[in-house]
Amino acid sequence: MARKVDLLLLILFLVWCCNTSSSTSPEAEILIKFKSSLSHNPALDNWNVSINICDDDPKTTGFWTGVTCKDGTLFGLRLENMSLSGFINISVLVNLPSLRSLSFMNNSFHGSMPPVRELGALRALYLAYNKFSGTISDDAFQDMRSLKTLRLEENEFRGGIPGSLSSLPALVELSLEGNRFEGNIPDFIPRDWKLFDLSNNKLEGSIPPGLANIDPIAFAVSPIGNNDLCGRPLSRCKSPKKWYILIGVTVGIVFLAIAVISHRYRRRKALLLAAEEAHNKVGMAKAQSQEQTEENAKLQFVRADRPIFDLEELLTAPAEVLGGGSFGSSYKALLSNGPPVVVKRLRPMRCVGFEEFHEHMKKLGSISHPNLFPPLAFYYRNEDKLLISEFIGNGNLADHLHGHAQRTPGNIGLDWPTRLRIIKGVGRGLVHLHRALPSLSLPHGHLKSSNILLNSNYEPLLTDFGLDPLVCQDQGHQFMAAYKSPEYIRHRRISRKTDVWSLGILILELLTGKFPANYLRQGGGAANGDLAAWVRSAVREEWTAEVFDGDMMKGTKNEDGEMVRLLRIGMNCSEEEEDQRWGLKEAVEKIEELKETENSTEDEFYSSYGSEVEVKSVGRE
């Protein structure tokens, strides 16, 4: 009998035990089911039903990549930067009642907007940087009363902006930037926006009054020049009646009068407003900071010798995208009365106050040298910093070296005399920059072939220099050329010799025609691997002539010796160890000595490289 009872207990125990140990949390099952409709990604291999989703044990947390918890409960999914595609099965996620935040940013999802409305309690939805397309139905966000953040930027959505967004009570961050939304902007109920960006779309019509006080950049196309939107904060709408109503509602009769006068007396208006602002500055601290913002929201010209245009002109000018640089995208704006200008949107510069920014820009604008190309003006406002420069039509050195430039029949690439002239100009510009900015540890900081413009005579013009003090220290600067240097990768240190390293890499790129892989890497990795190491190994294996770019060798006779000398300079400049690396002065002096033609042998190179490094490495800036 006792045995029987024991057996019964055992069975009961087994049922109890195995139920618990094998019963995985329902949430885990749901997530696994959700994952099954996504494309396979190794990053999610650690999603494992045997492991608790929200485990406080530090040894096991982090096993569910991308799953976030709050107070031991599932809170969000953050599946970013994973090249995911497939189907986002919302009907599966509906079974996760505690889900509040959903991010699929920067993946490869395509197709139409998922029916997120079914997740009525969602607070944040990030679908930015994917390939979603199609129109979004007007009621797509109906009743999402908790939705605070909606980020759909950089997709391919088209059609109207869904009207259901305009009345969501909690929404304070909205970015639809970089899609193809068209038509009128719905009238959003006024609120304190933390983020509002509709730029780079195809919107039209008058901007609703509730948005009259938004930063105009939020409506710009690319990001400047939106011809089809009008009304505050952009230029007034063409129809006088609309304009009257709009201005009447938003600014009032007094401002209308000023605006009418200003139509004839533009300059006087500017003076009046400036005087008024100056007068108002005596007000309370709060009012003062408001004024400050208004003041900042203007184009600031940093060079005295250039024609002045205003922000409105810039914002309404037709524009075309030039490309996405590392600081941000750049655009060409065709001003109605003046030469075209280039506008760069500087993304990683959110940490510097207006005064500091202004001072520094004025300093850069005051630098004058035939090989330096400082900006004309800038626009500063919270999230957005625009840098405006003249447009140079002949492209940049990288385009010419790596074949993106248009090859006209007569244009067979850069020959040796041109390359020599370019590197001499770069050297001169760099020396001047180091003299003009004595207090900066990185006078240039971002020297690379795509930041060297070529004018119609193939004279180099250095751009994007001196920006290091404006970039956010914690995350902003990894993309800059200087921060790919061996000293930064190894010791998190930069110095004035770091610019010399960039010059060295540039010389090697110029001679070999190879793109330096150093600049593709996102920090980390083997220091100085890549181009410099490749050249070194190639030279060691004694096939020097073959490191040179074929385009450069065309039609040359006796210039090898000079090319080899420049190669040696490039190698001494890209030395990994800073104390072995040449100083700028010495490097540029050596470059200046080079000639277009001269007899010389490669033997000289082999005998001198290595031994000379030690002798000449004393050069210090």
Ligand X SMILES: *[C@@H]1O[C@H](CO)[C@@H](O)[C@H](O)[C@H]1NC(C)=O
Contact residues toward ligand X (CB under 6 A) are 37, 48, 50-51, 78, 80-81, 87, 89, 91-92, 106, 129
The DSSP annotation for 545-581 comes to GGGS-HHHHTT-SSTHHHHHHHHHHHHHHT-SSTTTS
Residues 149, 161: Cα–Cα separation, whole Å: 16
Q: Which residue is it, tokens 């008024």?
A: 276
CB of 105 or CB of 273, closer to ligand X: 105
From the CB of 447, what's the least distance to ligand X, in Å? Answer: 22
From the CB of 509, what's the least distance to ligand X, in Å? Answer: 22
Q: Please tell me what DSSP assigns to residue 451.
A: G
Element (H, E) at 456: none
Neighbours of 537 (CB within 10 A): 10
Query: Which residues are CB-neighbours of 430 under 8 A, at least 6 positions away?
Result: 443, 444, 447, 462, 499, 503, 584, 588
Q: Which residues pair with 126 in a beta bridge?
A: 103, 151
Q: Which residue is it, tokens 């240097």?
A: 485
From the CB of 308, what's the least distance to ligand X, in Å? Answer: 35
Residues 253, 251: Cα–Cα separation, whole Å: 7
From the CB of 458, what's the least distance to ligand X, in Å? Answer: 33
From the CB of 48, what's the least distance to ligand X, in Å? Answer: 4
CB 203 within 8 A of CB 223: no
The DSSP annotation for 132-149 comes to EEEE--TTTTTT-TT--E
Scanning 410-475, the segments in alpha helix (DSSP H) are 416-436
Query: Which residues are CB-neighbours of 483 under 8 A, at least 6 positions away?
Result: 477, 494, 523
Element (H, E) at 380: strand 377-381
From the CB of 333, what's the least distance to ligand X, in Å? Answer: 24
From the CB of 30, what's the least distance to ligand X, in Å? Answer: 9
From the CB of 156, what's the least distance to ligand X, in Å? Answer: 15
Q: Where are the beta strands (DSSP E) in 137-246?
A: 149-151, 156-159, 173-175, 180-183, 195-197, 202-203, 205-206, 229-230
Scanning 128-234, the segments in alpha helix (DSSP H) are none
From the CB of 498, what's the least distance to ligand X, in Å? Answer: 23
CB of 129 or CB of 181, closer to ligand X: 129
